[in-house]
Every structure is written in C-alpha cells, then in structure tokens.
Amino acid sequence: MFPRRSLLAAALLGVAAASPAWAQGAADWKPSKPVRIMVPIVGSTNDVLARLVAPKLQEVFGQPFVVENKGGAGGNIGTLDVVRSAPDGHTLLVGYNGPLAINVSLFSKMPFDPLKDLAPITLAVKSPQYLVVNPATGITSVKDFIATAKSSPEKLNYGSVSVGSASHLTMEMMKSEAGFNITHIPYRGAAPAVSDLVAGMVQTGFFVPGNVQGFVKEGKLRLLASTGLTRFPSTPDVPTLAESGLKDFEATSWIGFLAPAGTPPNIIKRYNDEMVKILKSPDIQARLHEMEFEVVASSPREFGHWIASETKRWGKVVKDIGVKLD
C-alpha cells in the first residue's frame, strides 16, 4: 500500500517516476473484481460520460464497471464515498468542478480535501455553459435579458443544478457584474432543473450544452450566449457573454476521472493509458462532440495542476460574490 500523498504529488509520481519494471507493472495490472464508477450527481452529463466509458473499460479489463449515482451536498457525498474507499483500483470517481474546486470555498467544514484525498487520472472533457431562457419570456438577447432583470426582476427566476454548483455561481457572477438581482431556485441535478425551465416553472439558467442543446434545437429553449472567452465551435453564431458587454467573463465546466489518494502509481498510469485511448477513439469522440464537449484526455499531472488552478479561480469568485453554504 502506498502512503497517502497530495493530489499533485501523486500526479507527478504517476507520470514521471516510473522505472522500466514499474512501467511493466502498469501494463500488466488488471482489476480482480467489479469496479465501481461513482457519479456524485444525479441526471447529468457526468453520468452520460461515465456510461460511455464504462463498457469500454469493461472490454479492456474483463471485469464489470458499474456506474453508481450518489448525489447530495453539491457532490460532496458521492465524492466522500470514493475518498473513503480502498485505494486499490476498484473505485473510480467521475469528478467535476463542484466538489473538486468550488466546494472548498463554499463550505466552512469540508469532509475531505480534494488536493490531498484524491489522485487524478485524466481531465476528460471541458465545456462552456450556455445562458438559456424559456421563449415565453420574449427575451432574445443578452441586452434584453439584463434590461428585463433590472426593470422587472420578479419576472425571472433562475434554476441551477444545485446550490454552489457552477450553474449557480455563474449566474451569481453575472448578477454581480451586470448589476441585477433575480431569484435562485436550486435543484438536485440538471434534469429536473432543465425540465422545469422548459415547462416555464423557472425562466432562465446556465447549463452545459449537453443538458439543453436538444431543447434549443426544438425551440423549447432560447440560447442567448456562451461563457467561454471565444465562441463555441458548434454554435459560431452565438455570442459569448464577454462579447455581450461583460468583459473577460468566463466560466468553464469540466469532468475528469480520479481515484482515492494512495492508489498505486502503476494503477493510475494503467487507467490513464486506457482512458486516453477510449476518449480519443472515433466513436467516443463523435458522441462527446455531439454533446458539445471538448475532449481533453490529459495526463494525471496536467489534471492535478488544472484542479489546483481552478480551485484558486473559483475561490476568488466565491469570495467576491460572498456566497457561503454553512
């Protein structure tokens, strides 16, 4: 058993400290029993990604890879389950910016430290968020949106994936920068939030493209802007919020795979090798592009540095906005 170490140290060891014998050990390692893939949120693109990758891993390793959903506390409950699991390669986490980079600033008492208690495998995908409205609002542009939010805030309630999620904080960022105040309606996952948005129970929200693109194409939702610094390739006619008057506005959502801290480096490397192949395979890439994801397929080291940088960035957002959950 390897001792627990920081996320970055594990990542560095996982890609840079292998001897030839160690590398051979990575190539030979296989799980000896079914592997759990924990998704710490319900009804999300995280779940879709997990279920795309799981059967491919099963083909490679010859063991079942079982996707399990355990939502709650902004992703902390399911993530903590993984943190407490044996670091033997039989439990994986589909992590995202909430429990990995945002919650440490939102919660005064976190049940785990993402930078110490988890070992990165790969940053799988990234995506901007889309600002969408129900067409019944009559809003057709960001300018209209801000004007309505300022003049008639009671007309706009916004839904989010959960309290403290990127979906929540991105709208709070926009409220702060544009100077309006509309009511937040938090949900437990993207599916119920988007369902109520389509039904008109809430009027607007920020969601990753994969959660709303079908409804946009059907005309049930109207897409106003994206949150990247550049326009998203699949929607080149849709402006960014930065272009729409909110200078330098950026909010990226992302998903990656991790294991409990202390998972031996040969296991981390084996999973990274196979996941990168899977993510870059033509059929999986095509499916992820359909979901409006940018495929990253990073090294463990790169993912570790990404989490650390995102923790600082979202920490600043939380501090500037003054959001706190407990």
Query: Mean pLDDT over residues 40-45, rounded?
Result: 83
Asked whether the predicted pLDDT for residue 17 surpasses 70, the reply is no
Query: Mean pLDDT over residues 181-186, rounded?
Result: 95
Higher-confidence position of 224 and 317: 224
pLDDT of residue 228: 87
Query: Mean pLDDT over residues 162-189, rounded?
Result: 91
pLDDT of residue 21: 46
Mapped to the 3 state alphabet, what secondary structure does the chain carry? CCCCCCHHHHHHHHHHCCCHHHHHHHHHCCCCCCEEEEECCCCCHHHHHHHHHHHHHHHHHCCCEEEEECCCHHHHHHHHHHHCCCCCCCEEEEEEHHHHHHHHHHCCCCCCCHHHHEEEEEEEEEEECEEEECHHHCCCCHHHHHHHHHHCHHHCEEEECCCCCHHHHHHHHHHHHHCCCCEEEECCCHHHHHHHHHHCCCCEEEECHHHHHHHHHCCCCEEEEECCCCCCCCCCCCCECCCCCCCCCCCEEEEEEEEECCCCHHHHHHHHHHHHHHHCCHHHHHHHHHCCCEECCCCHHHHHHHHHHHHHHHHHHHHHHCCCCC
Asked whether the predicted pLDDT for residue 65 surpasses 70, the reply is yes
Query: Mean pLDDT over residues 98-120, rounded?
Result: 94
pLDDT of residue 6: 47
Higher-confidence position of 149 and 74: 149
Asked whether the predicted pLDDT for residue 325 surpasses 80, the reply is no
pLDDT of residue 163: 80
Query: Mean pLDDT over residues 174-184, rounded?
Result: 94
Asked whether the predicted pLDDT for residue 215 surpasses 50, the reply is yes
Ranked by mean pLDDT, which of 68-72, 73-77, 147-151, 175-179 comes out on top?
Answer: 147-151
Asked whether the predicted pLDDT for residue 45 surpasses 50, the reply is yes
CA distances, 63 to each of 89, 95, 275 (Å): 12, 22, 15
Question: pLDDT class for 3, splitting at 50, 70, 90?
Answer: very low
pLDDT of residue 164: 81
- Region of poorest pLDDT, from 57-66, 104-113, 225-234: 225-234
Question: pLDDT class for 190, splitting at 50, 70, 90?
Answer: confident
Higher-confidence position of 236 and 280: 280
Asked whether the predicted pLDDT for residue 209 surpasses 70, the reply is yes
Asked whether the predicted pLDDT for residue 295 surpasses 90, the reply is yes
The residue with tokens 């920081």 is 6
Q: Say how far apart CA 65 and CA 87 lie, in whole Å.
A: 16
Higher-confidence position of 312 and 9: 312
pLDDT of residue 22: 44
Higher-confidence position of 9 and 161: 161
Asked whether the predicted pLDDT for residue 10 surpasses 50, the reply is no
Question: pLDDT class for 103, splitting at 50, 70, 90?
Answer: very high
pLDDT of residue 71: 87
Asked whether the predicted pLDDT for residue 8 surpasses 70, the reply is no
Asked whether the predicted pLDDT for residue 31 surpasses 50, the reply is yes
pLDDT of residue 280: 97
